[in-house]
Chain A
Amino acid sequence: MIEICAITAEPPPPLPESDNLHAVCSAGLVALCTPADEQPLTPSVLWSREEMLEKLMEQCDLLPVRYGSRVEDDAAVARVLAERQGQLAEALERVRGAVEVAVRVLETDTAPSTTEPPASGTDYLRSKTRHAKVATDVHEALGRLARASTQQAGRAGSELLRAAYLVDRGAVGSFVERVAELQKAKPQLRLLCTGPWPPYSFTSG
Chain B
Amino acid sequence: MSSIGEPDVTLVDLIDRLLGGGVVVVGDITLAAADVDLVYVGLRALVSSVATAEEKGVLPELGSSL
Range class of the A interface residue count: 35 or more
Residue contact B22 to A67, C-beta cutoff 8 Å: yes
Judge whether A182 is part of the interface by a CB distance below 8 angstroms: no
A161 to chain B, nearest CB (A): 13
Interchain residue pairs with CB less than 8 A apart (20): A63-B23, A64-B21, A66-B24, A67-B19, A67-B31, A68-B19, A68-B30, A69-B30, A70-B30, A80-B25, A80-B26, A88-B25, A102-B13, A104-B13, A108-B51, A109-B55, A155-B44, A190-B54, A193-B5, A194-B5
Q: Is B58 an interface residue (CB 8 A)?
A: no
Residues of A contacting B: mostly: mixed
Asked, given contacts A7-B25, A196-B3, whether A36 binds B13 with beta carbons under 8 Å apart, the answer is no
CB distance from B32 to the nearest CB of A (A): 9
Contact A69–B25 (Cβ < 8 Å) = yes
Q: Within the complex, what minimum Cβ distance (angstroms) separates A32 from chain B? A: 12
Residues facing B in A187-205 (CB within 8 A) are: 190, 192-198, 200-201, 203-204
List of 10 A-B pairs having minimum Cβ-Cβ separation, nearest first: A200-B21, A194-B5, A203-B23, A200-B17, A68-B31, A66-B22, A156-B48, A68-B30, A64-B22, A67-B18
